[in-house]
Amino acid sequence: MTASGNRVELERTVSEGWFRNRSDIGRADAPAGISGPVGVEGAFRVAFQGERNMEGKKPLVGIVMGSDSDLEIMREAALLLDEFAVPFELFLTSAHRTPARTAAYADSAEDRGIRVFIVGAGAAAHLAGVIASRTLLPVIGVPIDATSLRGLDALLSTVQMPGGVPVAAMAIGKAGARNGALLAIQILALGDGGLLEKLRRYRLRMAADVETKQGTLQWKS
Ligand code: RP5
């Protein structure tokens, strides 16, 4: 599948609310590139393999969400990992609604090849912290705006971990999801020169974009 094919697929996944009907996940007619159910405690795992022949490669990053309603934000992380050709998996589980499923996922991840987690949750967001409590892999938390407190609740739950069990807390929402992916890539790039070079080029592109926008700034009346 091409990069744009993946992007379209993720867009479709969200726009058609495919994740909203949990019983649909793993169906034979599921969108190409997404498969399940497999693995943990007989529950479903939604694996999304990116482009550039990543099919068959083991996921290195676990993107975990407390609810299907978090996907609209967490897809930002998925799209960035896809852009960097980093294999990842998407997993739905809740610290509060499915604690055993969360524990089983966290406990099995390292053996399956996961090297870093990006965890999005809203409300009293304990998912990142609970996963961090069960693994020595780095955990990046993305607070999500899901309640009338506009994500501040999730931010404080994510950032205010007790000493001894760290979670790297990102910004609330889409910027946090994107930065979560970039931080995960930076962690992986410590042992991967190719990935480091892609990060360098990404920064250069960002800088060039600012310069371009400077040239096209216009007063709006
Ligand atoms: C959290 O509660 C989830 O991460 C989500 O952000 C929030 C609301 O979940 P739903 O009620 O939409 O499933 O656990």
DSSP 44-75: --EEE--TTT-TTPPPSEEEEESSGGGHHHHH
123 CB under 6 A from ligand 1? yes
pLDDT the model gives residue 129: 98
In whole angstroms, what separates CA 137 from the centre of its chain? 15
Model confidence pLDDT, tens digit, residues 83-137: 999 998 888 999 999 999 999 999 999 998 999 999 999 999 999 999 999 999 9
The residue ranges of the chain whose pLDDT is under 50 are: 1-6, 14-53
Residue nearest to atom 14 of ligand 1 (CA): 66
Residue nearest to atom 7 of ligand 1 (CA): 122
70 CB under 6 A from ligand 1? yes
End-to-end CA distance of the chain: 44
Domains defined along the chain, listed by start: 3-215 (3.40.50.1970)
pLDDT the model gives residue 155: 98
Backbone angles phi, psi at 93, to 5 degrees: -165, 155
pLDDT the model gives residue 179: 98
69 CB under 6 A from ligand 1? yes
pTM of the model: 0.80
Of the candidates 109, 104, 113, 106, the one whose C-alpha atom is nearest the C-alpha of residue 54 is 113
Mutation probe of ligand 1 site: the residue of 65, 67, 94, 155 with most atoms within 8 A of C-beta: 67
15 CB under 6 A from ligand 1? no
pLDDT the model gives residue 9: 54
- Measure 68 CA to ligand 1 centroid, in angstroms: 8
93 CB under 6 A from ligand 1? no
Say which residues have a Cβ less than 8 Å from residue 179's Cβ, sequence separation at least 6: 170, 171
121 CB under 6 A from ligand 1? yes
pLDDT the model gives residue 55: 55
